[in-house]
């Protein structure tokens, strides 16, 4: 499943502060209020970003109060309290990383892994990105104290792999702003980020291993590579350029360039295998109808909003692209 940050998790600009010390102190205070925030230098000011739209109004109120008394005791004590929160989150993060390492080790020992090196490589790369980017989360990795978190290296990695830079998008509102600068890798790399956490990663990697492995072992590495890349590019592009504010019936398909997840590709592989099995029964490729129903049912469940902010456009775009690729390559009329 692909995750979004707009509406529920997309970073929102709530104001500015004049210097780094004030920005650090205020974001630490917000953390004690269970509001995830970060700061970013812009010229001579520091921009304050809130990561959950539901906290924007609260964050602005707190910012107004902070400006009146930035040296108040409540703010001076906030950094110490934030340090304790950081330590607890680090402990949780370390346990999550251990779980992922154990999972990767189990996969690498599977007998079929030698027949699917490309699939295994993509899985390992995605897991490594998860380690070093805090799962692609919009918040800065809490590997150091709040006083130094604003310069965390994984935040830079996240912003490099996203469809567009958060700062550029915040200033221009153009989802293609970074790609127009020549950063074309961003058409693909959002698939490596998994902001939904460990289970977001596990869900997508299990399906990638199964579906991608079928294509690689029954077709070829080259076939898997171009199906994967094509579905990645088109599903990411569709998710990014879809209008943000759609009418109520179409709102689950609202776009947003700040997203992450392999699910657009997973649904592309599903679509490719599904149509291939139907058009070419002799290919040895077969998906049980229950598997198809499970995946389509999950995609429909995501539309309800019960699972939080999900990149629904990427799901269905990937599915249709995969189906179209299989139909194009296998339809007898295309071969005459």
Catalytic residue annotation: 263, 315
**Whole-angstrom distance, CA of residue 316 vs CA of residue 143:** 36
Q: Hey, what are 169's tokens?
A: 């998008």
Backbone conformation region of residue 43, classed left if phi is above 0, alpha if psi is from -120 to 50, else beta? left
User: How many C-beta atoms surround the C-beta of residue 329 within 10 A?
Assistant: 16
Cα 152 to chain centroid, rounded: 18
Q: Hey, what are 80's tokens?
A: 């110490």
User: How many C-beta atoms surround the C-beta of residue 179 within 10 A?
Assistant: 18
Q: How far is CA 246 from CA 249, 253, 256, 302, 307, in A?
A: 8, 8, 12, 17, 19
Q: b/e for 79-91, b at 16 or more Cβ within 10 A?
A: beebeeebeebee
Q: Would you list the DSSP string of 145-210?
A: -HHHHTT-HHHHHHHHHSSS-HHHHHHH--TTHHHHTT-GGGGTGGGG--TT-HHHHHHHHHHIII
Residues composing the chain: 336
The answer to whether 284 touches 306, Cβ cutoff 8 Å, is no
């Amino acid at each position: 499943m692909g995750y979004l940050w707009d509406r529920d998790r997309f970073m929102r600009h709530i104001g500015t502060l004049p210097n780094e010390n004030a920005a650090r102190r205020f974001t630490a205070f917000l953390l004690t209020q269970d509001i995830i925030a970060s700061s970013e230098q812009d010229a001579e000011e520091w921009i304050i970003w809130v990561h959950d739209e539901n906290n924007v109004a609260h964050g602005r109120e707190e910012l107004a109060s902070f400006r009146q008394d930035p040296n108040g005791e409540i703010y001076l004590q906030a950094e110490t309290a934030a340090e304790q929160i950081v330590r607890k989150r680090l402990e949780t993060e370390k346990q999550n990383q251990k779980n992922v390492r154990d999972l990767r080790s189990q996969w690498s020992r599977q007998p079929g892994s030698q027949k699917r090196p490309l699939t295994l490589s993509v899985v390992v790369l995605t897991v490594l990105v998860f380690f070093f980017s805090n799962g692609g989360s919009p918040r800065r990795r809490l590997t150091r104290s709040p006083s130094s978190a604003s310069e965390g290296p994984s935040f830079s990695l996240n912003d490099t792999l996203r469809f567009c830079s958060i700062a550029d998008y915040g200033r221009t509102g153009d989802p293609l702003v970074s790609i127009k600068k020549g950063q074309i890798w961003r058409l693909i790399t959002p698939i490596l980020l998994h902001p939904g956490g460990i289970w977001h990663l596990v869900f997508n990697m299990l399906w990638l291993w199964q579906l991608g492995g079928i294509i690689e072992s029954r077709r070829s590495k080259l076939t898997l590579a171009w199906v994967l890349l094509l579905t990645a590019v088109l599903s990411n592009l569709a998710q990014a350029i879809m209008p943000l504010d759609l009418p109520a019936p179409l709102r689950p398909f609202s776009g947003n360039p700040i997203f992450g997840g392999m699910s657009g590709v997973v649904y592309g592989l599903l679509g490719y295998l599904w149509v291939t099995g139907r058009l070419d029964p002799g290919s040895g490729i077969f998906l049980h109808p229950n598997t198809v129903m499970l995946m389509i049912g999950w995609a429909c469940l995501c539309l309800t909003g019960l699972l939080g902010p999900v990149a629904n456009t990427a799901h269905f775009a990937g599915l249709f692209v995969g189906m179209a690729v299989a139909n194009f390559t296998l339809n007898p009329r295309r071969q005459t």
